[in-house]
Amino acid sequence: MAEPTKRACVLILGGTGFIGRNLVHYLVQNELVSKVRVVDKVPPLMAWLNANHTASFASPLVEFKQCNLINPGSVDAAFALDDGQFDYVFNLAAETKYGQTEPVYKEGIIRLSHNCSTTAASHKVKLYMEFSTGQMYSSEKTEEEDTKPVTEETKCEPWTQMAKHKLEVERDLENIPDLEYIIVRPAVVYGIGDRNSITPRLTIGAIYKYINEKMKMLWTKDLKMNTVHVDDLCRAIWHLCYHGKRGEIYNIVDKGDTDQGKISRLVSEIFDINFDFVGSLMSNMAKINMQHVVEDINDKHMAPWADACHRDGIASTPLNPFIDQELLYNKHLYLDGSKLELSCTFQF
């Protein structure tokens, strides 16, 4: 599909979140749209936007609507336009916190996404893009077993509760008549505005600098944690709007082949601290009582973090070093992005 000369009209659901705010900024700064409607429960003034993102949200091209998309009436309001309809709808709205209960995920992921996708089909939008996750594959292979990156066709065995519910959403999309959709499965997304992927590890690095101790981590340096910068993600999904095949799934991942060792080395260099890994043997012993181990880890980090914030006069911050148990499993996030690369017929 060739890129038109007319600028697109875009709806971003969950648009004040980490990826959403960066997507708004990308579309506005590159003059790619005639209109962006941002829908979220959290208004921009309460979303900890930085100066650049605040400026983009203040653009006359951007309209914000505060809606709870679990409510079908709110979804109808989000899609309603006085003149015309949206060309592209990006669904970034979902429950993104780890460690929530089954009912929370069913309502905040499955019900919400079904409301949005069926409404998109009824409005006959050109493309509805569902943001899923790369946590769909539960490999625990070690480096000796020649772990290979997984493709979109690899059998799904999601290893977080969030991913399990995202998979249900993916399957639901297949059964919605007249829906033109694409599913994207990003690797670990990092960049400006990140709070929950790489940033907690940076925060933990700052804590070990503060308490003057060596930073120790579960498993080994070879645990795959593939990444993609949020700016590259935004370029990739805009590319897919015009060049992606409808009804397909695309992994989005960079070429860094990032693993736990690389991330830990960078954190240690930034904060000038030492680090080490406890290894597979000790980690497997910890796995027997993982909940207790994770509670101890978080308890060790939270008090020094509160002390450091108090020392520097920080009364309120969106950052904290808490890491959920699901993110400490011995699960590789190792994606093959060649399908997206094959669709790249022009230079980003």
> Does 40 fall in a domain?
yes
> Does 162 fall in a domain?
yes
> Does 214 fall in a domain?
yes
Tokens of 280: 């597979």
Q: Are residues 74 and 104 in the same domain?
A: yes
Q: Are residues 147 and 277 in the same domain?
A: no
C-alpha 71/C-alpha 111 separation (Å) is: 9
Residue 143 corresponds to which amino acid?
E
> Does 74 fall in a domain?
yes
Q: Are residues 252 and 278 in the same domain?
A: no
Q: Are 220 and 277 in contact (CB under 8 A)?
A: yes
Q: Are residues 157 and 205 in the same domain?
A: no
The CATH number covering residue 70 comes to 3.40.50.720
Q: Residue 132 has what pLDDT?
A: 98
Instruction: Classify each residue of 92-123 as buried b or exposed e, where b means 16 or more C-beta atoms within 10 Å of its C-beta.
Output: bbbbbeeebeeeebeebbbbbbbbbbbbbbeb
> Does 347 fall in a domain?
no
Q: Are residues 219 and 231 in the same domain?
A: no
What are the tens digits of pLDDT across the range 109-155? 999 999 999 999 999 999 999 999 999 987 766 554 457 899 999 99
Spans of the chain, pLDDT less than 50: 144-145, 346-348
Q: With DSSP H G I counted as helix, E B as strand and the rest as coil, what are the percentages for the chain, rounded to 5?
A: 40, 15, 40
Inter-helix orientation angle 279-287/290-311, to 10°: 100
Domain count, the chain: 2
Q: 63 Cβ partners below 8 Å, 6+ apart?
A: 35, 36, 37, 38
C-alpha 64/C-alpha 241 separation (Å) is: 22
Q: Are residues 203 and 101 in the same domain?
A: no
Q: Is 88 exposed, middle or buried (0-12, 13-18, 19+ CB in 10 A)?
A: buried
Cross-strand partners of 33: 8
Q: Are residues 19 and 125 in the same domain?
A: yes
What are the tens digits of pLDDT across the range 175-193? 999 999 999 999 999 999 9
> Does 288 fall in a domain?
yes
Inter-helix orientation angle 260-271/199-211, to 10°: 50
pTM of this structure? 0.93
In degrees to the nearest 10, what's the CA dihedral of 162, 180, 3, 25? Answer: -30
Q: Are residues 118 and 205 in the same domain?
A: no
Tokens of 52: 């650049």
> Does 348 fall in a domain?
no
> Does 3 fall in a domain?
no
Q: Are residues 230 and 153 in the same domain?
A: yes
Q: Are residues 136 and 277 in the same domain?
A: no
- 65: domain range? 8-191+225-258+332-342
Q: Are residues 210 and 122 in the same domain?
A: no
Q: Are residues 141 and 242 in the same domain?
A: yes
